[in-house]
């Protein structure tokens, strides 16, 4: 390589960091990487075929970056990010840029943003979605920070991002922690859809008695229609994957305890702080937690034995209704996530462009789907749309799937098939379309036992009643 300096340096040459660097090198950018593990440094240079340089020395790494320097970190969220900043920041000059590409908690990003701003450095929290394949071939990226500083790296990120209809799946998200916040909600939506697909598998297996091959065929057909998405696609492939030793479906040999890295939990926690309901996502987090209590579930299964779960229905017709139910539930899950982003934008002054977020999620990321085009069009038409389900185009799709949703939920509940995400999604929708909720009774109860007062629909002000005249 020539003596010309590098346009971007990556700290952390694990699978994601190395894959992103190789992607950049493939697009003609001269890049470098830093890692304390010499094997990872060697692996980068070997795979890059001379198009990227690896370093073990932080000073040498920084000295060989062109100014303003752009340094990206792909290390585990938490203390590791602070440790890298503590090592790298003193080597940087005013105007240089540090980018955190991990799933950091958004308040950590706000803190780092302010601390580094005081030192004259630009800090970006950037969500990166797509996994190893996305990083290597084209991810979806969500950078948040100073918009002028973003211009330093914008040509690189637009070049390496996934493309849909020629549009790069990356855009400036907003100030401070906006990028990390949007990625967190992306992951929350991901949790919700994964749980819905898992429950669909449960229905097909226990309710319809379908084999892996039959489920493969159903998901193959679904992925050619309106459910077309990355998660449906990989689920299709899972239903066809056989264990090399036994020749049986590998899925049947996997323990039913789901793990997580925390972003789904953060989404639920922060939604509660915002006083905004996202029950489908909440349910998905809760079910991963419940899955870990395998011993208790095994004991309960022995005590409360399940009856016949086979659905008394025409199989083909029910699968049609199940497709409607899954599409309905996916629409509502996306709607909950977008509603949370809109509310957080007001709360944190992110000034999020909802149509642009939908645009960059159409490709590269884990929740990419055909339906995101509908979301993009809805927010493009009305940038201040308060809730996605209020869009007329989305309403037509809801109207066309609600009957299947009600049939699936009622049939499964009657047979004892666990569908918590489906059930809570339907209840959320039914409450959302209720002009008058029974919350007036809760207000009356609160006033009765605690004199918390209530409001009336026929008069202004706050009121309190002596509910028990004998007290």
Q: How far is CA 470 from its chain centroid?
A: 54
Dist CA 341 CA 133 (whole Å): 27
**The two structure tokens encoding residue 435:** 């002009």
Q: Are 1 and 53 in contact (CB under 8 A)?
A: yes
Dist CA 463 CA 452 (whole Å): 9
Q: Are 92 and 69 in contact (CB under 8 A)?
A: yes
Q: Are 104 and 178 in contact (CB under 8 A)?
A: no
Dist CA 353 CA 3 (whole Å): 41
Count of other CB atoms within 10 angstroms of residue 37: 12
Active-site annotation holder among 183, 206, 265, 397: 183
Count of other CB atoms within 10 angstroms of residue 240: 16
Dist CA 76 CA 82 (whole Å): 10
**Residue of 333, 334, 318 whose CA lies nearest to 409:** 318
176 exposed, middle or buried (CB, 10 Å; 0-12, 13-18, 19+)?
buried
Phi/psi-derived region of residue 446, left when phi > 0, alpha when psi is between -120 and 50, beta in every other case: alpha
Which residue's structure tokens are 């992925």?
223
Dist CA 354 CA 378 (whole Å): 9
Residue 100: beta bridge partners? 73, 125
Annotation marks residue 190 as catalytic: yes
Active-site annotation holder among 190, 199, 286, 323: 190
The helix/strand/coil state of 438 is: coil
Dist CA 414 CA 43 (whole Å): 56
**The two structure tokens encoding residue 205:** 């297996």
**Residue of 253, 257, 255, 260 whose CA lies nearest to 292:** 257
Q: At what angle do helices 371-381 and 315-348 cross, to 10 degrees?
A: 40
Element (H, E) at 100: strand 97-100
Annotation marks residue 183 as catalytic: yes
Dist CA 417 CA 415 (whole Å): 6
Catalytic residues: 183, 190
């Amino acid at each position: 390589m020539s003596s010309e300096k590098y346009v971007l340096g990556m700290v952390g040459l694990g699978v994601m960091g190395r894959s992103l660097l190789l992607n950049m090198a493939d697009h003609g950018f001269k890049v470098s990487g830093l890692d304390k593990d010499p094997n990872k440094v060697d692996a980068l240079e070997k795979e890059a075929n001379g198009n990227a340089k690896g370093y073990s020395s932080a000073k040498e790494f920084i000295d060989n970056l062109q100014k303003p320097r752009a340094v990206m970190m792909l290390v585990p969220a938490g203390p590791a990010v602070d440790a890298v900043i503590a090592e790298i920041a003193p080597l940087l000059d005013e105007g240089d840029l540090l980018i955190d590409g991990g799933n950091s908690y958004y308040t950590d990003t706000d803190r780092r943003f302010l601390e580094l701003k005081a030192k004259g450095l630009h800090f970006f929290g950037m969500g990166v979605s797509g996994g190893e394949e996305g990083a290597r071939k084209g991810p979806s990226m969500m950078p948040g920070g100073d918009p002028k500083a973003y211009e330093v790296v914008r040509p690189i990120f637009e070049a390496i991002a996934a493309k849909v209809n020629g549009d790069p799946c990356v855009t400036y998200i907003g100030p401070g922690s906006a990028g990390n916040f949007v990625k967190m909600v992306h992951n929350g939506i991901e949790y919700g859809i994964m749980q819905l697909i898992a429950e669909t598998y449960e229905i097909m297996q226990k309710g319809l008695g379908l084999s892996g091959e039959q489920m493969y065929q159903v998901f193959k057909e679904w992925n050619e229609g309106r459910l077309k998405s990355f998660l449906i696609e990989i689920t299709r492939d899972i239903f066809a994957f056989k264990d090399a030793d036994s020749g049986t479906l590998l899925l049947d040999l996997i323990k039913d305890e789901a793990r997580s890295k925390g972003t789904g939990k953060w989404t639920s926690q922060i939604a509660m702080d915002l006083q905004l309901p996202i029950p489908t996502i909440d349910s998905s987090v809760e079910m991963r937690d419940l899955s870990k209590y395998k011993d208790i579930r095994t004991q309960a299964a022995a005590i409360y034995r399940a009856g016949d779960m086979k659905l008394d229905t025409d199989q083909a017709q029910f699968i049609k209704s199940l497709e409607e139910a899954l599409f309905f539930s996916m629409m509502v899950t996306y709607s909950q996530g977008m509603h949370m982003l809109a509310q957080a934008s007001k709360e944190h002054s992110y000034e999020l462009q909802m149509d642009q977020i939908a645009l960059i999620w159409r490709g590269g990321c884990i929740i990419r789907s055909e339906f995101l085009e509908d979301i993009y069009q809805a927010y493009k038409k009305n940038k201040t749309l308060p809730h996605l389900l209020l869009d007329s185009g989305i309403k037509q799709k809801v109207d066309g799937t609600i009957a299947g949703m009600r049939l699936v939920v009622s049939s499964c509940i009657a047979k004892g098939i666990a569908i918590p995400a489906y059930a809570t999604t339907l209840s959320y929708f039914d409450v959302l379309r209720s002009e008058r909720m029974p919350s007036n009774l809760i207000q009356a109860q609160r006033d009765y036992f605690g004199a918390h007062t209530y409001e009336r629909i026929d008069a202004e002000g706050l009121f309190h009643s002596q509910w028990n005249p004998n007290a």
